[in-house]
Structure formats: C-alpha cells, structure tokens
Structure 1
Amino acid sequence: MRSIWCVILGLFLLVRGIEGWKRGVPAVKFFEYAGISCRAHSVSIEDFGGIGDGKTSNTRAFHDAIAHLARFSDRGGGLLYVPAGRWLTATFNLTSHFTLYLDKDAVILASKDIRDWPLAKPLPSYGRGREAPGDRYASFIFGTNLTDVIITGNGGTINGQGKVWWRKFRHGKLNYTRPHLVEFMYSNSVQISNLTLLNSPFWTLHPVYSSNIIIQGMRILAPVKSPNTDGIDPDSCTNTKIEDVHIVSGDDCIAVKSGWDEYGIQYGMPTKHLVIRRLTCISPYSAMIALGSEMSGGIEDVRAEDITAINTESGIRIKTAMGRGGYVKGIYAKGMKMHTMKWAFWMNGNYGSHPDSHYNPKARPVIQGINYRDIMAENVMMAGQLQGISGDPFTGICISNATISMNPKSKEAPWSCMDVQGIASGVTPRPCNELIHKKAVTCVFPEPLPIEDVKVKRCVYKGKHHP
C-alpha cells in the first residue's frame, strides 16, 4: 500500500510541476559543478530582471545580483546563475566568495558602446597604459582585492565583441589603452574554468598581482589577425596553474609578464611558480609561450609540459632588452610538439619598446637557467634564433632530446646564436657552437609544485529555473 501511495504522490508532483511549467512558475534546477569552493546561496540573473535576447541591456541586473550575493560573503558565499541566452551588458565587477556560472548556450555579451566602458588607473608596474599614456579602459569583467572567486560553467561563452575596438585601434581613434576581457588584481584563490572566452578587445585573461590561480578547461579564441589578443597573461602572479587550454590568438597564446622597465623594477613583484600543462596554441604571428617582453619585476620557476603549437610563429620565446632590468630564470619545458613554425626556439635580447624616456638604458636583464627537453618539431623554417645582449649573455641554456625537421623551402641556416651560453644533447639538426655538445645529458625538470595538487570540490547548484 505504501508503494502505491508513493507512486500516486510522485505522479501528483509531476503533474504539478508540468502545470507550473505551463504557467511559467519557476521550477527547481539541479546540477553539479567543480569549484575550489561551494556556495550556500544562489540566484539567477533572471531573478533580477535579466533578459537574454541579445538586445536588452542587463547591466543593472548584473550589478544588482552581485550586490545582493555580496551580502552572503561571510555566510557561505553566493552563486550567480546565467542560463541559456544572450546577455548583453556593460562592464561589471565581481565580489569575494562568489561564483559566476554560465550554463550551456549562455553567452555574456560585452557592450559595443565604448561609453559603457569606464576608465581605470594605469597599473603601477607599468606606469601608464600599455598602448597610450595615462589611463586605460576598465576590463569587461573585473575584480580587485578579492578572495575565493570563481568564473565557471558548462561550456558557456563570454564574448568581448572586440571588433569595434580592433577597428578603432588600427585607425588610431583611441586615446586610451584597450580593455581586457577578464582581469583580477590583488586577488587570492581564483578559478576560471570550463568556458569559452571570445574576441577580447585586448589581452583576454589577465590575472595581475594575484596568487593561487587555477585556469582549466578553457577555449580562448580570437581571429589570428586581431591585434594583441593574447590568450592568458599571468602578470606579477604567484602559484598559477594553467591546464587543458586551447587558444587561437592574434598574439602570444600565453604571455608571462611582470611590469615594464623602471616601473616594473620599482614595483618589484615577479611572476613565479607557474605551471602550464596540456596547452594547444594556434598563433601564426606570435609565440606559444612568451616570457616578456614586460618582465622587469622578474620571471622565475615556470614549468611547461605536454604543450602543442600548430601554425604558430615560435614555440617558447624570451623577449627582453637593455633597459628592462629584471630576470628570467628557472624555465623548464618538456614534451613539446610543434607543427609548421617559423622558429622552434627564439630568444630576443633586442625587443626594445619602452614606456617613456625615463627608463635606465643600463638596466641589464638577467636570463639564465633555460631548460628544454623532449621536443618534436616539423615543417620549421629555423630551428633556433638565440640572440642575447652584448656584454650580458644569456646563460645556462640546456636543450636535450630534440628532433626538428626543417621545411625544405627554408633558405636560412638552422641555427643562429649570439651572446648565449649553454649545452645541447641529442639535438637534430646540430645546434650552434655556443651550445656545447654533450652526450647523454637530460635537461632538468623540477618536482611538482603545491598548486599542482590543489583539488576542486564537487558542488551542487539548487536554484529556481525560469522556463
């Protein structure tokens, strides 16, 4: 008898649910997601009047929803759910102990109206906007001095609609530096995962002065001729893990930075303890991973493993110059696959753009301890161009177990080296004499970092769903 009543009750609830759906009454929606923290409170953008038609501005809805959830930061945190739809909005800021979740087929659209993008102060380690003196446009999604913040989803998209910015930049019609798509400053414990970031106005994902960052399962896409649409730019950050990321970019897929000339030297905040794993990059005019050129606060302990470049200008590139100061040291890469490249390896000590005339031209960068091993490259125009600085050679270079197949149309010598020192073992074609040939040497790769062992939790969303 009890089982019969259970069936009747189940049918009754199902009918009530269907009737409620027909009347437009919100139903309860459940799903699981992975997060560094789970949230006790949740709302939908629709609860605050959001309309996902791609035309209606949802700026007020995003601001109000995030302000509402900020009240729960010390009571289990809050999650803002963005369902399927096209959610147009101006820029907005995040809060601590907060999750922004984009469901499948959810698209957050950045406004094309530049009046919707306020100005922000230049970064102290840059001293000015990267493209123009003075201020810069604020990033589309931004957070500062935050703790425990997540942007994740079930494959949703954040679309910067950057074409309007690219056009104005090319025509010289911008007085300030273009905005990033997503930026965090002075923040700790940040997760960005399982989303597509599309068509950023400038650099796409820019964590700066932050620590304990996890970037996982991302697609970052922009046309290969779009200007300076870097994929991910860890900038003066500590303990960052980037893994399972696919990037198509108009500039470097990953650009590791730490400030610009005298401003970066004075600020003195390096990027260190960075892990990059299972990266795929397509960037015909730039690098798979660039170190610099803004590296004046220092770059130290970068590990890259199982990385693939396809139709990309260069593999791992070091960019610096006199006047930069700072250092790049303790760089480790293994398991690189490269297909159709201009350069497999490129080190450039003459990458000389400067913020102003106040930099110290005698500030010498230190480049040492560069380790590459287990490399397969094909259809390469030049195996390596390694150019240090006269009187300031790049030292401690190690390349081992590398097979590079040259493009038969290449008219260049496979290697060109100047002001560099190091060793090579098992490298084909045979490198330049500046890399002393050793037998049976394996370049070092260090033990794992604590950030590699950070595990996300299994979280459950239970909230109202507006059919």
Structure 2
Amino acid sequence: MLKKSERVALIIIMFLMPLIDASSQIGIINIREEGADHTGKKVCTHIIEEAITNLSNQGGGEVYFPAGQYLTGPIELKSNITLNVGAGAVLKFTDNFDDYLPMIDSRWEGVRVKTFKSNIYAHNATNITLKGRGLIDGSGKKWWDLWWRIKGGEQTNTKWEQIFAEENDSLLQHNEYIKKMGRFLRPTLFMPYECYNVRVEGLTFQNPPFWTLMPVFSENITIDGITILNPDNSPNTDGIDPSSCRNVRINNCHISVGDDCIVIKSGRDEDGRSAARPTENITITNCTMLDGHGGVVIGSEMSGSVRRVTISNCVFQGTDRGIRMKTMRGRGGVVEDIRISNIVMYDIVKDGVMINMHYHETPEEPVSERTPAIKNVFISNIRIKKAKQAVAIYGLKERDASNITFNDVFVSAEKGVYGNYASNIQFNTFQIESKKTEPFKFENSNNIQFRNVTILNPDIDRFGFAFTNCSGLLIKDCFQVESMSNYIKAENTESIYILNNALPGVKNLIEHKNSKVISQDNY
C-alpha cells in the first residue's frame, strides 16, 4: 500500500502527464538542447537546418534560441515554421561568402536576378514567422568592404563575381542597370520570396549585407514592434523594403539605418513592368525613424505601380528627407492614392516632403508605358521643423505630378515650397516660415489653390508667392498680419484669383508681368 506522500506524488505526476504530452505535441525545438553551441564559436547551421526539417515533416513548429550567441550560415524557412530568438539570444551569421551559395532567385533593386542566399530566406512558403526579444546580426562589414573596393574601381574579379556572371549570363547581356552595378550583388538579411502570411515581431536587426527586410512578390505581411539599427555609414542598408507585395502592415517600429528607413518598391523599368506586380494596400503607423536617408520613401523602383498606402502617427528625426516619392522617365508605373497624416519631422537634412519625377535627369520623350505618374496624394496634420526645404514637387514636362493636397501643415525651413510641372495642388491651413527663399514658388504649373495660408516671420522685402508660366491660381481666405512689402509676383501667368484675404501687413499686393488677375476682393 502506498504511503500518503507517495500517493500525493503519484497524483501530481498523473496531473502533469497530459501537460507534458501536450507540450511535446506543440512542436518546439530548443536549439541548445539539440547541441547548438551557445558561445558563438562553432557554426550550428546543420543543427538549425535539421530542426527546421524535422518540424516541417511534422507539419510545422518553432525553433527556439534561448539566451546565448549562435553562429550560423543562411537559414531557409519552410511553411509553418517560426524562428523564436529569445531575450538575451544573438543569432549571428557567418561572413564566409561561400556559405551563401548556390545562388538563388532574388530581386536586386527591382530586377529579378540569381544572387547570394539571404541570411534568412524562404521561397513559396506559407505561415512563416520571425519573433522574439533577441538580436539578429547579419555580419555585413565584410560584404560592405568588398563592395566599397569594387565601387572604388578596383578590378577584383572574384570567384563570386564569376559565378554571378554565369548564373545571369542572359540578364547581363541586355540589362544595362545590372551590368553597370557590377557582378557582386550583396544579399538582404531577410527575404521571403513568393510567400504568404509572413510575420516579423519584437526582434532587433543589425548589420545586414544589403537591405534588412525585403519581402518580394509576397502577400499578407505583418512587421510589428521591431528595431533596426544599422551604422549610418553602412552602404544601402535600408530598413524595410516591400517589393511587389500586397496587404502589408508595418507598425510600432524603430529604425535608424545607413539608407532609407522604409521604402516601398515594385520593380525597375522593363523588368518591373514585365513582372507586372504592384505593391498595394500598405499601412505604416506608430514608427520612429532616425538618421536614414529617407523616413518613408516610395520608389524609385516603382515600375509595377504602388497603390493605396497610408502613413500615419510617425516621427522622423535627422533623416535626410521625411516623405519622399521618386521616379523618372523609363520607369513607367503609377504611384497613386497615398494618404499621409499625423507626422512630426525634426532636423530634416534636406526636404520635408519631396515628390520627384526627375530622380535622374533624362531627355523629354513622348508619353508611353515608360512614363511614370504620381497622383492623388493627400498629406495632412504635418509638422516640419528645421528642414533645408519644406516641400519640393517636380513633375515632367510631358506629365505633371498631379492632385496633391496639403491640409493643416506647419513648417519651418530654410527654403519654402517649390513646384515645377505640377497641377491640381492645394494648400489648406498652411503656416510656413521660409528663411532664404519665397515661401511658395511655382513654375510651369496649373490649378493651384491656397486657402488659409499664413507666412511666418517673413522677409519684408521678399515676395510670399512667385509664379512663372502658370495658370489657374486661387489665393483665398489667407491672413497676413506680419509686415511684407510684396505679396505676389507673377510672370507669364494667367487666371489669378485673389479673394477674401485679410492682409493688413502687406504693402503691395501683386507685381505682375504678362499676367492676368481675374478678380480681387481683399481687406
């Protein structure tokens, strides 16, 4: 007969057995228990691969990295697999380029190529996740150093460049851009390629060989609560670059990188148009972005088009530009239906908002599939403080940047708002301080409306508005109490309407040459 203490122990064991059985069915493999070295001295690629394969054969599961440092080569995720890098864990990748062979299908700056495996990649996988409170380190410096040498003109002709040339022989014969970029194309840190249901959460990423996270031709992607910290002098180390993806949610992230923080892309030139895969249905919210080239950028690779994007509740500090849309002749594609709201920008090195269809100067050409378009952009509740330029809009002679609206904006910058080949532009409830140029200057533009605009701390001898070769201008319900000698200057401009403005600080309302003022009714 069992003693009382033995009976109690047996009851506890019987109670715990179902829980033990249940945990074994969850499909979690602790990589350290499988023999992975946690000191970072021994490569554990094979152990990780074996764990993923075993879980995949069971239908899926989680590979767990407890605290420690784990050195590995590239990792290929399969359907229904989660990598969980726990608090105190570092997943550090080797910098032996041979580990990243054979080359795989990828996309490099918008062109489909075969190149090195990404640190973490997946192809045609469903339900893949990267999560945890740990750190993923791409060990990018060795990649950067060789790239700098090649860019500096050194004739390296490494074996990896030779392999790339063999794998991409046809591409190198007809794609001038890839030919110009050379044959050493660094891999991204994480690339899900043609995947569905991708989730990245909680982790910190650093030192990617090239871009950090680049989903390609993928759908239903959530990136939540991650941190990306790349050195400011690291080349092309973008943060998050969805390329020809649908239904992407980027939330609660902190990004400081050596290039653009978040970039939305859809392919380059003929190859992008041929792939014909737009990026659409994108939300970016509650993010902080520091020290990158751009806060949120669309383009320049947008040949497959970018549609239906919202950007909200973000802070940019110290980035070269805040919001940037960039394209050029030859791209084709359309950027449209973009909504940007509740953004605070501070210490912006160049432009607060840049919309540029002249990313590289090219000669004018007839409108065709090569002609890009940017239209239907709505920007509201924006504060820009300490920028070199407030807003710049550059369309093309053959196609304007069009239908762009600014509502409830405060901006303090060295230079004001400039537009060239822009049409159907609105500024509503717009306060601007421009220290070195006219607050608003437009050339070759049409149908521009200014309502409830106030110029702060104006240069008494500088015009508030300057127009050249424009038509269809409305300046209405504006209030200018601070002193200005001159308010509007117009040359070769038609159909200027100046209505219902209160301008007690203005000495001379308008100076015009070869221009026509239709109506004036001001106080």
| Band the TM-score falls in, shorter-chain normalisation | 0.7 to 0.9
In the other structure, the counterpart of 2:511 is none
In the other structure, the counterpart of 1:460 is none
Higher relative contact order (CA 8 A, sep 6+): 1
In the other structure, the counterpart of 1:232 is 240
**How many angstroms apart in 2 are the aligned matches of 1:48 and 1:67?**
13
In the other structure, the counterpart of 1:404 is 411
Aligned residue among 114, 126, 131 for 1:152: 131
| C-alpha contact 2:147 2:184 (8 A) present in aligned 1 | no
Letter in 1 for 2:62: L
Aligned residue among 134, 145, 151 for 1:167: 145
How far the C-alpha of 1:126 sits from its partner, in A, is 4.0
| C-alpha contact 2:36 2:70 (8 A) present in aligned 1 | yes
**How many angstroms apart in 1 are the aligned matches of 2:76 and 2:30?**
17
**Larger Rg computed on CA atoms:** 2
Aligned residue among 31, 37, 40 for 1:45: 31
How far the C-alpha of 1:235 sits from its partner, in A, is 0.6
Unaligned runs of 5+ in 1: 14-27, 32-38, 130-134, 355-359, 441-467
Letter in 1 for 2:352: A
In the other structure, the counterpart of 2:418 is 416
How far the C-alpha of 1:377 sits from its partner, in A, is 1.4
Unaligned runs of 5+ in 2: 14-19, 151-155, 162-182, 433-438, 454-523
Aligned residue among 446, 451, 454 for 1:438: 451
| C-alpha contact 1:188 1:210 (8 A) present in aligned 2 | yes
**How many angstroms apart in 2 are the aligned matches of 1:271 and 1:423?**
26
Paired residue secondary structure (1:206): coil
Q: Percent identity?
A: 30
Letter in 2 for 1:374: N
Task: Please list the CA deviations of residues 2-21 of structure 1 after superposition, one character each: whole Å capped at 9, or x if unmatched.
Answer: xx9599749x99xxxxxxxx
Aligned residue among 281, 287, 296 for 1:273: 281
Task: Please list the CA deviations of residues 245-303 of structure 1 after superposition, one character each: whole Å capped at 9, or x if unmatched.
Answer: 0000111100100001001111110000000001111125x110110000000000000
Change in CA separation of 1:168 and 1:125 when aligned onto 2, cut-off 3 Å: closer
Letter in 2 for 1:230: D
Change in CA separation of 1:145 and 1:6 when aligned onto 2, cut-off 3 Å: same
**How many angstroms apart in 1 are the aligned matches of 2:253 and 2:324?**
19
How far the C-alpha of 1:427 sits from its partner, in A, is 1.4
How far the C-alpha of 1:353 sits from its partner, in A, is 9.5
Q: Given the alignment of the two structures, is residue 78 of structure 1 paired with residue 78 of structure 2, yes or no?
A: no
| C-alpha contact 1:204 1:230 (8 A) present in aligned 2 | yes
Paired residue secondary structure (1:123): strand
Task: Please list the CA deviations of residues 119-157 of structure 1 after superposition, one character each: whole Å capped at 9, or x if unmatched.
Answer: 22343994455xxxxx3211110001111111101x111
- RMSD over equivalenced CA pairs, Å: 2.8
Q: Given the alignment of the two structures, is residue 115 of structure 1 paired with residue 101 of structure 2, yes or no?
A: no
Of 115-124 and 200-209, deviating more is 115-124
**How many angstroms apart in 2 are the aligned matches of 1:220 and 1:361?**
39
Aligned residue among 26, 35, 51 for 1:65: 51
**How many angstroms apart in 2 are the aligned matches of 1:126 and 1:218?**
24
How far the C-alpha of 1:431 sits from its partner, in A, is 3.9
Q: Given the alignment of the two structures, is residue 104 of structure 1 paired with residue 102 of structure 2, yes or no?
A: no
Letter in 2 for 1:386: I
Aligned length: 398
Task: Please list the CA deviations of residues 318-350 of structure 1 after superposition, one character each: whole Å capped at 9, or x if unmatched.
Answer: 110000000100010100000101210111212
Of 109-118 and 324-333, deviating more is 109-118
Task: Please list the CA deviations of residues 53-86 of structure 1 after superposition, one character each: whole Å capped at 9, or x if unmatched.
Answer: 111000111111111111122xxx3111111111
In the other structure, the counterpart of 2:341 is 334
Paired residue secondary structure (1:229): coil
**How many angstroms apart in 2 are the aligned matches of 1:79 and 1:204?**
22
Q: Given the alignment of the two structures, is residue 283 of structure 1 paired with residue 280 of structure 2, yes or no?
A: no
Letter in 1 for 2:126: T
